[in-house]
Amino acid sequence: ACAGLPARDRELLALLFCDPPKSYREISATLGIPVGSIGPSRARCLARVRRTPAIAALLADEPCDSGGHALRSTRGAA
């Protein structure tokens, strides 16, 4: 799903989810965007990921809240 995102989105998500974690200040300096833009940009990137066909199919069976976020996973439940 991430491979289909624009390069800027992939770069942001990679920095947000790297190990060890990067601070918003480090991400801001690396990408040249304001610290206050990182959270909203993250939300938009993740929304794009959720809309990709592969991820949308995985989430289709999951109960979701009004924002389309999975409430809990039922996968693997007996």
Note the pLDDT tens digit of each residue in 14-60.
Answer: 999 999 989 999 999 999 999 999 999 999 999 999 998 888 888 88
Say how far apart CA 49 and CA 1 lie, in whole Å. Answer: 6
> Any idea what the Cα angle at residue 13 is, between residues 34 and 60, rounded to 5°?
125
Q: Tell me: pLDDT of 5 over 80.
A: yes
Q: How many CA atoms lie within 13 A of 73 on its CB side?
A: 4
CB 42 within 8 A of CB 16: yes
Query: What pLDDT is recorded for position 39?
Result: 95
pLDDT at position 60, please?
85
Domains annotated for the chain, with CATH where assigned, are: 2-59 (1.10.10)
pLDDT at position 61: 76
Residue 30 confidence (pLDDT) = 96
Q: Which two tokens stand for residue 41?
A: 């940009």
pTM score, whole prediction: 0.69
